[in-house]
Amino acid sequence: MKQTVATGATVDQAVSNALKELGLARDEVSIDIIDEGKKGFLGFGARDAKVRVTAAGIEEPAGGQAEGHAGTAGGTAAEEAPAPTVPAGEPAGQTAPEPPEDHAAEETVLAEHGEPDVPDLSAGGKADMTGPVSPVVAAEPLEPVRPGEPDHPDPEEDIRLLDEAIADTADYLRAVAMEMGAKDVKVVHMLDGKNLEFSLHSPDAALLIGKRGQTLNALQQLVQVVANNYAKQFLLVTVDAGDYRLRRKETLEILAERKADQAVRTGRRVALEPMPSSERKIIHHVLSERFDVDTHSEGKEPHRHLVIEPHK
């Protein structure tokens, strides 16, 4: 039995490669999908599809003579079959008339149960609507079935798919970090509800952080898209390297208090440099406990910044 295992960028391409190798058509083989493969994201995490193609066995008849003998016997039977007889007095080629319909059973049913009442609407007559009317019960609406959704979700399957998506995202993040020049990159993740945090550990952590965390913030935005694409659900992703986020949080808290004191002392508003929303939230939270200043954000991303002004 001819059989081969082939790979390709997609399942169809893998099957096509196998058919070329076997020299057979698609309807002459059976196909088993070993791995559907993955497209990856921006070239990372891609995996070829793999299929096993086997030539389908075609069972031939026991012998050609048996088939020929059956055909001969069939032909002889057809030749010896008597022609239909035609009653005397009728022209040849005309079929016998069908027997008259037997209405005896129908008349018996009508005699026992009577004919159904049919309202007479002729000559402007009106139907009698005073009789009892059966209530009409509306059918319950059917819940729409969305394509691709299982009828009975499996929590264990959802957990497995989520774990697989997180692992693929971690591999993607590690690959990008190494392409940037970082060495000995290790990725650790922690999931808390919808919050997913990745921590990068490498001797070249400064390379991944960049000036004021700009490189790290760009990595975080990229991984946010990748994680949601793999997981098929919304996840709030945070990417950290060398505990930069913790140290940055402490710096922003000190900066917030110092700038708030400046606004109160001068009586004028103080505008901070543009920063991502996660860092602006830290300053908003710290100064929300003070009653002598107010905070708000101005501008559009990526130049949106926070403003501190004395409370009026």
Q: How far apart are CA 182 and CA 6, in angstroms?
A: 36
Per-residue confidence (pLDDT) for residue 109, from 0 to 100: 46
What percentage of residues in the chain have a pLDDT greater than 70?
A: 66
pLDDT for 42 equals 56
| pLDDT digit string, tens, across residues 82-118 | 555 444 444 444 444 555 555 555 555 445 555 445 4
**Above 50 in pLDDT, residue 71?**
no
- φ and ψ of 101, to 5 deg: -70, 140
Domain extent listing, the chain: 3-55, 155-242, 246-310
Q: What is the dihedral of CA 300, 303, 306, 309, to 10 degrees?
A: -90
Candidates 3.20.20.370, 1.10.510.10, 3.30.300.20, 3.30.460.10; correct CATH number of 155-242? 3.30.300.20
116-164 confidence digits (pLDDT tens): 454 454 445 454 545 554 444 444 444 444 444 455 567 888 888 899 9
Residue 212 pLDDT grade (very low, low, confident, very high; cuts 50, 70, 90):
confident
For range 221-238, the mean pLDDT = 89
Among the residue ranges 70-74, 187-191, 249-253, the one predicted with the least confidence is: 70-74
Q: Is the pLDDT of residue 306 over 80?
A: yes
Pairing label, strands 195-201, 236-241: parallel
Same fold, 155-242 and 246-310: no
Residue 238 has a CB neighbour count (10 Å cut-off) of 16
Hey, is 256 helix, strand or coil? Answer: helix
Closest among 3, 2, 5 to 50, alpha carbons compared: 5
pLDDT top residue among 310 and 149: 310
Domain at 246-310: CATH architecture: 2-Layer Sandwich (3.30)
Q: For residue 51, what pLDDT band results from cuts at 50, 70 and 90?
A: confident
Above 80 in pLDDT, residue 310? yes
Among the listed residues 216, 237, 210, 217, the one whose alpha carbon sits nearest the alpha carbon of residue 226: 237
Q: Give the pLDDT score at 298.
A: 94
Residue 309 — very low, low, confident or very high, per pLDDT cuts 50/70/90?
A: very high
Position 282 scores a pLDDT of 95
- What was the pLDDT predicted at 262? 96
Residue 153 is predicted with a pLDDT of 62
